[in-house]
Amino acid sequence: MSVISDGNASGGKSVGKFENDRSYCQIKINVPSDGIYDIVIRSMGIGGSKENDIYTDGKKVGTFTSENNKFSDYTVSAVSLTKGDHNIRIIKSWGWIELDKITVKTGAKISNSTYNVTSSLVNRNATANTKKLYSFLKDSYGKYVITGQQCDGGINGNEFKAIKNLTGDYPALLGLDMMDYTPSRTAFGASSSAVEKAIEFANKGGIVTLCWHWNAPTEYLNSTANSSDGWWGGFYTQSSKFDIAKVMNGQDAKGKKLLDRDIKEIAKQLKRLEKAGVPVIWRPLHEASGGWFWWGAKGSDAYKKLWKYLYNELTNTYGCNNLIWVYNGQSADWYPGDEYVDIVGEDIYPGNHVYDPQVSRFKQAINYGSKTKITALTENGCIFDIDSAVSINALWSWFMTWGGEFTVNGSNYSEKYTEKSVIKKMYASKYSLTLGSLPKIY
């Protein structure tokens, strides 16, 4: 760490570059009273946009972004502080920033108007059950947090059973993946029972959400080996040569034909759910702005074209009228438009035992579109502290803890990310909805 002379910094100097694993900068502040405060970090990324972490008194309260080669402000919102002295520490995550200044100012709770969603479903031909589910989501938004869990095994999977054994109830929302219906996976012997598990859970009164780790077509994979950089990692950018910009611009007819083939297959599975009367919270093309999946590797314009094309194909060509569309691109610049989105989702993995409600990301997401949309925590590592969320009125529509190590060790509940006391408090809260406390929706 060193002092850097920079005429663009507010005082002509900054500190940086946070290039070492132990790099940090700490300041002491004094606040006049107990309350909610916003912490504004002015910084600049070196060689690209960067993300780093902020702690107060040893507790992580957020992650901030530094824009590439220009100083900008990032606000970590709604941090609860008691009267007196506190330590604020900036700690390296990605590193490589110049830190200009840190400002602490009085903050505020999330406004109740945030939860006043008046939009109808973007698909005017949505089924009756889909409309009923969306109406329920709107009515509960801002009043309750719906408990969710990704679990390939469905209600009888390890994650669900471990949560039931610990808390006495199941999650209200089951997350499943359409990944193994993709032709470039079935070609190598993959199979899926996600549709059957979704129907089973819906028949027990639960809500279903589906994502799609969309494998690139076999012809575009870098390797067909049975490994993470082979066919079964084919949704990653690094594992294929699939250029979605060329496909969407009409420069790759073969790629377009294979894209259409994949969409047709997924539509067939979604129609099975529609026939069974199951509405789906549908979250395709997730985490695009990160660039680690092929659908986000060629920039926002190509992504938005793909989103609109997928929406049109599933909605108008194949008549999948049981879908509630969730945008999960994680950036306002990648947002395809209010007319293509029902719900906005954010995926957040803050680390181990970090129970902050992630208010900054919540406030960021609610402003992606021009219309008020339901906002959800569509993937998470840690479960946030429900009391903290209620205290600042930051009630995500639902959370969706990822499976595997984020929830279990084998068949037993794991405290690696969320301690037992935190999840038990969430499931027992009057502000959360579990499978047992869900009303009959349709």
CATH numbers and ranges of domains, the chain? 2-106 (2.60.120.260), 112-437 (3.20.20.80)
**The pair of three-digit structure tokens given for residue 33, joined into one six-digit string:** 């009273």
What does the DSSP assignment read for 378-420?
A: EEESSPPPHHHHHHTT---SBEEE-SGGGTEETTEE--SSS-H
- Summarised one tens digit per residue, pLDDT across range 312-345 is 999 999 999 999 999 999 999 999 999 999 999 9
Task: Give the pLDDT confidence score for residue 362 in this predicted structure.
Answer: 96
- Summarised one tens digit per residue, pLDDT across range 208-246 is 999 999 999 999 999 999 988 899 999 999 999 999 999
- Alpha-carbon gap, residue 306 to 330, rounded angstroms: 16
Instruction: Give the chain's mean pLDDT.
Output: 97
Task: Give the pLDDT confidence score for residue 240 in this predicted structure.
Answer: 96
Which one of 159, 287, 405, 419 is the catalytic residue? 287
Which one of 98, 159, 346, 379 is the catalytic residue? 379
First and final C-alpha spacing in the chain: 59
Q: Would you call 19 a catalytic residue per the annotation?
A: no
Q: Would you call 200 a catalytic residue per the annotation?
A: no
201 and 208 in contact (C-beta within 8 Å)? yes
417, pLDDT greater than 90? yes
149 and 381 in contact (C-beta within 8 Å)? no
Task: Give the pLDDT confidence score for residue 53 in this predicted structure.
Answer: 94
How far CA 424 is from CA of 191, 252, 399, in Å, comes to 34, 51, 15
Q: What is the pTM of this model?
A: 0.93
Neighbours of 108 (CB within 10 A): 13
Kindly state the average pLDDT of the residues 270-279.
Answer: 99
- Summarised one tens digit per residue, pLDDT across range 172-198 is 999 999 999 999 999 999 999 999 999
129, pLDDT greater than 90? yes
Task: Give the pLDDT confidence score for residue 62 in this predicted structure.
Answer: 87
Of 60, 55, 51, 128, nearest to 97 by C-alpha is 51
Task: Give the pLDDT confidence score for residue 135 in this predicted structure.
Answer: 99
392 and 359 in contact (C-beta within 8 Å)? yes
